[in-house]
Amino acid sequence: MGNPNGPYPGRQLFLGLTIENRPAIAYLVTGRSKESRERKAIPVENTIRMGPLGNVAYDPLRHYTAIKYDNATGIAAVSNGIQTEAIYETYKLLFNVKTAPATDYMTKIMDGADAEPDSYHTPRIAGVITGKDNVPILIVGIKGYNQPAGAVRAELRPGMMMGVSTYKGSMDAPEATNPSAPLSKLEFKGKTPEELAKYVYDISQADYKGDDIRVCAIGMFLAADNRTWNTAVINAHKD
């Protein structure tokens, strides 16, 4: 099986439920250019950050908090850029004040972030896992160029994940994902975050001008206590 969004998904996220009905997150980063590939996912406290290799100047489009999670509430946010922190803080506040975590909050944040200011007008993508009365709530959002942001609550059966990527189409001519397009689906039968990270990493193997486009893959499972996140990271660069 190949990646459901084609040979070059760019950055991609999935939210879903394991076969044991536990909330799960997957995040994938790929890159065609050398600069895009010279990154790695770095766990730092309750975050996983996309950082540079070596002493490289900060670039907000390449270096950002990809995932932030809370082991007291079980809330976790994932995105391809500056919006991660805002999504996390917003849905954590909603949880603490016992307000329903509606999709409207996601669309407002994504509209504020806007599409990335690059030549491809790369969409912003995001997801959040929260809950109400011990029922998991999974929300996926996307913001395209000159288009209103969209967000949907994913209703899934165990073993199914749904998500979105920044690009679709061919390797040589990738197209920005349309916010109105249906979410991608992924079936996953593994039982550990390590298996999830490896699964997403393996189905995304592709070369561009002789180079493997994969940068990293992240897998996360929420434990049975509905609070604690278990994480796994695969980086193409081991240093």
pTM: 0.97
Averaged pLDDT for residues 34-46: 96
pLDDT digits (tens, 9 = 90+) for 184-235: 999 999 999 999 999 999 999 999 999 999 999 999 999 999 999 999 999 9
pLDDT digits (tens, 9 = 90+) for 143-185: 999 999 999 999 999 999 999 999 998 899 999 999 999 999 9
Q: Is 159 left (phi over 0), alpha (psi -120 to 50) or beta?
A: left
C-alpha–C-alpha distance, residues 121 and 174, integer Å: 12
| pLDDT band per the 50, 70, 90 thresholds, residue 134 | confident
Enumerate domains of the chain plus CATH numbers. Answer: 11-235 (3.60.20.20)
**pLDDT for position 239:** 67
Output the average pLDDT for the chain: 95
Cα dihedral 15→18→24→26 (10° resolution): -70
Question: CB burial class (10 A; 0-12, 13-18, 19+) of residue 7?
Answer: buried
pLDDT digits (tens, 9 = 90+) for 46-77: 999 999 998 888 888 999 999 999 999 999 99
